Amino acid sequence: MKILVCISNVPDTTTKITFSPDNKSFNATGVQYIINPYDELALTKALELNEVAGGGTVTVVHVGLADAEPNLRKALAVGADDAVRIDAAPTDGFQVASEIATYAKDKQFDLILCGRESIDYNGGVVPGMLAEMLDLPEVNVITSITINGGLSQVERDIDGGREALEVSLPFVASCQKEITEPRIPNMRGIMMARSKPLQVLPAQGGALHTEVSEYALPAAKAGCRFLEVSEVEKLVELLHSEAKVI
């Protein structure tokens, strides 16, 4: 199968988030960037699907600047065949989906896998927008996927349970945790990644739909009120009369 995997470059999960003094931008100083964890699952699943199918290619695509290239090389080391970077600072889900749609529309991918959301802007909007732009079906938050010929069986999380679906290729899916475990690159993969193609394409551009005007950190907590182990009844009383949550 010919599979496309969409990759975001995001701050490491341990990052302490800070903003610029005017709160207009994210302070990236000293921040380690990683492949978005859900996208890493999508990549691993794409490789597994082709291993089951006995062949195929996996292309990773990223909308972003050159500083993401080490992570695209990592995706190649994990096992992707080639990488594409569309050269634009990603600022809006619509913009990212539009750029990927322009790239993908005449490439006849059998399957496009994404993570269910990026852990930086958390919109989770790119997979659905991309599917709509390419006029493809989309299944979001999938926890399993198998493919038999042109038909795929997937399971997705729904509110209060899980749903099994059948969908014909080609389609877009966004991956939820549980779909697989991320694959760690081995030494051979890292060596091979150096000679795999990493293509840089110009962005199409276009008007942005959204713009962040200001960031803020969550309000600091007032402080923790400590109680003794013997005071659990008092805790219950406080939750009822002071916090009013029970």
Place of tokens 């475990």: 181
DSSP E strand stretches across 97-195: 111-115, 138-148, 151-158, 161-168, 171-175
Residue closer to other proteins, measured from CB, 53 or 208: 208
The structure tokens listed for 137 are 């079906």
Q: Binding residues for other proteins, how many (CB under 8 A)? A: 83
Task: Pick out residues in 32-51 that bind other proteins (CB under 8 A).
Answer: 37-38
Place of tokens 């913009």: 95
Task: Pick out residues in 152-181 that bind other proteins (CB under 8 A).
Answer: 153, 156-168, 171, 177-178
Task: Sketch the per residue contact string, 189 through 208, with other proteins: x for CB under 8 A, - otherwise.
Answer: ------------------xx
CB of 195 to other proteins, least distance (A): 32
| Cα separation, 171 vs 133, whole angstroms | 12
Task: Pick out residues in 226-245 that bind other proteins (CB under 8 A).
Answer: 226-229, 231-233, 235-240, 243, 245
In three-state secondary structure terms, 242 is coil
Task: Sketch the per residue contact string, 3 through 22, with other proteins: x for CB under 8 A, - otherwise.
Answer: --------x-xxxxx-x---
CB of 213 to other proteins, least distance (A): 5
CB of 65 to other proteins, least distance (A): 19
Contact (CB, 8 A) for 6 and 42: yes
Give the chain's end-to-end CA distance (angstroms, integer): 53
Give the largest Cα separation in the chain, rounded: 68
Task: Pick out residues in 92-151 that bind other proteins (CB under 8 A).
Answer: 93-94, 97, 119-129, 131-133, 136-141, 143
